[in-house]
């Protein structure tokens, strides 16, 4: 089972390192109308996008910080830089990526993964995408996979049609912030009936300190098409905070299938405040597989709006909160159409002083008869001071529906440990085994390479957990 492949040989250093990068562009810290205009200008954007940005900036400015969830009052929006770029163009050949940037992604194993098991890869550092490449045969079939800035230049009609339609700027303060300051992110278009065999992957990296990273991802899967998109992220660790506020919009047309997998491993000085939502049309199937291991505070609730009859959603999320971390995660499934179904499964572990919160919402609108939903959340606490909250919500406005909910909260039991240790496992190994088993329903859904990486990350978090 063990694989000695260098890609899998992970330790903390593999993620927490800094490259001494020369930045071609770095805006002074803070956000203003002028900063927004400069971002748009540097990108040479069409006027309509600048208008959207400015409107969103207004929305962001007037909107108070949300009064629920973790305390975000100490985020200082003026202490981060809103545009910082180590490169002036997106390469489609790793040799054209600036040396230190390339080195970073090599250390993270991106080019190697791309060669081995990806249909396309993207790599973004700070505010800009450094590399993007799609397999040639997929380009020939009409698949588009590029950074969102390039998409705005080359496919403005698609951007105009879909941008902000799934996550409007008015959705929340951070969606407004992203819409105002967005830069980079992935754009995916899969034409009718094209099924992409291997995953597309994007990797997001924060190398500098006090960075605001606002990637904007838009995925459009046309009728009968299929795609699996995977994103990973990590950052160099600093004592000052960085802000990552992404918006992800997914449009799953009739009969399509979309799986969106996230392995979030930010360093513990990153605030990760992300809005992810999909619109699922008739008979489509949308899956979010969302893992949150890193960051100081994460607030993220991947959602599916089931808008077409027989649409299905599967949202599987896992969270690991180590000491000092808050993982405020969850899922939403909103049923607008009849005969739609959704399953939500959340597994979370809190360790040391870490805290996990599950917020789940299942809403069945009037008219969405014969819909089904099942929501389950399991929380496991490793230590006495670990915390976990479960906040499920069911809003049912239709009679002929089936909705179920289950929740479990547990501790690693003395008897379980004794049982495993009685076979010769150390206490650490026993706890790790229990934790690995707890997350199994998630890891078994991942491609092997990612399952191994996920397990290694959890092992790192579990190291020296006891005694």
Partner 1 sequence: MFTIVNFINLVAIYYNMSFLEINNLNVSTQDKEILKGINLKINPGEVHVIMGPNGSGKSTLAYTIMGHPKYNITSGLMTLNNIEINSLKVNERANLGIFLGFQYPSEISGVTLTQFMKQARKSDMNYVEFFNMIKSKMSELNIDDSFIKRSLNEGFSGGEKKKNEILQMAVLEPKLAILDEPDSGADVDALKLIAHGINNARKNNTAVLLITHYNRLLTYVKPDFVHILHDGKIILSGDYNLAEVIENKGYEEIIKNNGK
- Asked if residue 424 binds partner 1 (CB under 8 A), the reply is yes
- Asked if residue 191 binds partner 1 (CB under 8 A), the reply is no
State how far the Cα of 160 lies from the Cα of 430, in Å rounded to an integer.
53
- Asked if residue 439 binds partner 1 (CB under 8 A), the reply is yes
Residue ranges of alpha helices (H) inside 245-389 are none
How far are the Cα atoms of 97, 283, 301 from residue 337, in angstroms, in the given order? 46, 11, 21
DSSP symbol at 94: G
Among residues 4, 67, 239, 422, the one that binds partner 1 under rule CB under 8 A: 422
- Asked if residue 288 binds partner 1 (CB under 8 A), the reply is no
Among residues 25, 171, 309, 429, the one that binds partner 1 under rule CB under 8 A: 429
Stretch that binds partner 1, among 104-112, 369-377, 385-393, 421-429 (CB under 8 A): 421-429
Closer CB to partner 1, residue 441 or residue 465? Answer: 441
Count of beta carbons in the 10 Å neighbourhood of residue 374: 16
Among residues 221, 251, 263, 420, the one that binds partner 1 under rule CB under 8 A: 420
Stretch that binds partner 1, among 136-144, 188-196, 337-345, 417-425 (CB under 8 A): 417-425
**Could you tell me which of 406, 460, 409 has the C-alpha nearest to residue 438?**
409
Among residues 163, 182, 189, 438, the one that binds partner 1 under rule CB under 8 A: 438
The least CB distance from residue 2 to partner 1, in Å, is 8
The least CB distance from residue 348 to partner 1, in Å, is 14
DSSP symbol at 229: E
State how far the Cα of 181 lies from the Cα of 245, in Å rounded to an integer.
10
Angle at CA of residue 151, ends 255 and 21, nearest 5°: 125
Among residues 235, 319, 344, 434, the one that binds partner 1 under rule CB under 8 A: 434
Binding mask 387-416 for partner 1 (x = CB under 8 A): --------------------------xxxx
- Asked if residue 320 binds partner 1 (CB under 8 A), the reply is no
Let me know how long the chain is.
467
**Could you tell me which of 125, 244, 227 has the C-alpha nearest to residue 184?**
125
Size of residue set near partner 1 by CB under 8 A: 25
On whether the CB atoms of residues 106 and 91 are closer than 8 A, the answer is: no
State how far the Cα of 58 lies from the Cα of 69, in Å rounded to an integer.
24
Residues that bind partner 1 (CB under 8 A): 1, 413-416, 418-427, 429-430, 433-434, 436-441
């Amino acid at each position: 089972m063990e694989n000695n492949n260098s890609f899998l040989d992970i330790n903390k250093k593999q993620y927490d390192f800094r490259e001494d990068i020369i930045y071609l562009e770095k805006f002074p810290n803070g956000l203003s109308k002028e900063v927004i205009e400069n971002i748009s200008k540097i990108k040479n954007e069409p006027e309509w996008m600048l208008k959207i940005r400015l409107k969103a900036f207004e929305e962001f400015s007037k909107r108070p910080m949300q009064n629920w969830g973790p305390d975000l009052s100490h985020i200082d929006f003026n202490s981060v830089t809103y545009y910082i770029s180590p490169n002036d163009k997106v390469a489609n050949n790793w040799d054209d990526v600036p040396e230190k940037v390339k080195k970073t992604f090599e250390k993270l194993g991106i080019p190697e993964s791309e060669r081995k098991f990806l249909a396309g890869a993207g790599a973004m550092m700070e505010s800009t995408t450094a590399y993007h490449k799609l397999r040639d045969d997929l380009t020939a079939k009409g698949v588009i996979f590029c950074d969102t800035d390039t998409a705005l230049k080359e496919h403005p009609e698609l951007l105009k049609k879909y941008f902000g339609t799934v996550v409007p700027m008015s959705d929340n303060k951070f969606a407004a912030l992203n819409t105002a300051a967005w830069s980079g992110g992935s754009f995916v278009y899969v034409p009718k009936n094209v099924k992409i065999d291997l995953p597309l992957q994007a990797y997001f990296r924060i190398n500098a300190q006090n960075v605001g990273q606002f990637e904007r991802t838009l995925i459009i899967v046309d009728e009968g098409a299929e795609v699996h998109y995977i994103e990973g992220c990590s950052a160099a660790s600093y004592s000052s905070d960085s802000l990552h506020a992404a918006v992800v919009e997914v449009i799953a047309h009739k009969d399509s299938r979309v799986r969106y997998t996230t392995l979030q491993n930010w360093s513990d000085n990153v605030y990760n405040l992300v809005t992810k939502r999909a619109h699922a049309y008739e008979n489509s199937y949308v899956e979010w597989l969302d893992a949150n291991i890193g960051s100081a505070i994460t607030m993220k609730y991947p959602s599916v709006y089931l808008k077409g009859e027989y649409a299905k959603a599967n949202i599987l999320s896992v969270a690991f909160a180590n000491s000092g971390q808050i993982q405020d995660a969850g899922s939403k499934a909103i049923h607008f159409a009849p005969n739609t179904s959704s399953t939500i499964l959340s597994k979370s572990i809190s360790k040391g002083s870490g805290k996990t919160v599950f917020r789940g919402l299942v809403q069945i609108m009037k008219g969405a008869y014969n819909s089904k939903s099942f929501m389950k959340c399991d929380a496991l606490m490793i230590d006495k001071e670990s915390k976990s909250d479960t906040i499920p919500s069911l809003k049912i406005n239709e009679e002929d529906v089936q909705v179920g909910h289950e929740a479990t909260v547990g501790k690693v039991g003395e008897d379980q440990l004794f049982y495993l240790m009685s076979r010769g496992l150390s206490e650490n190994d026993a706890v790790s085994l229990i934790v690995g088993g707890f997350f199994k329903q998630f890891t078994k859904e991942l491609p092997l390479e990612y399952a191994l990486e996920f397990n290694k990350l959890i092992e790192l978090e579990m190291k020296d957990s006891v005694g």
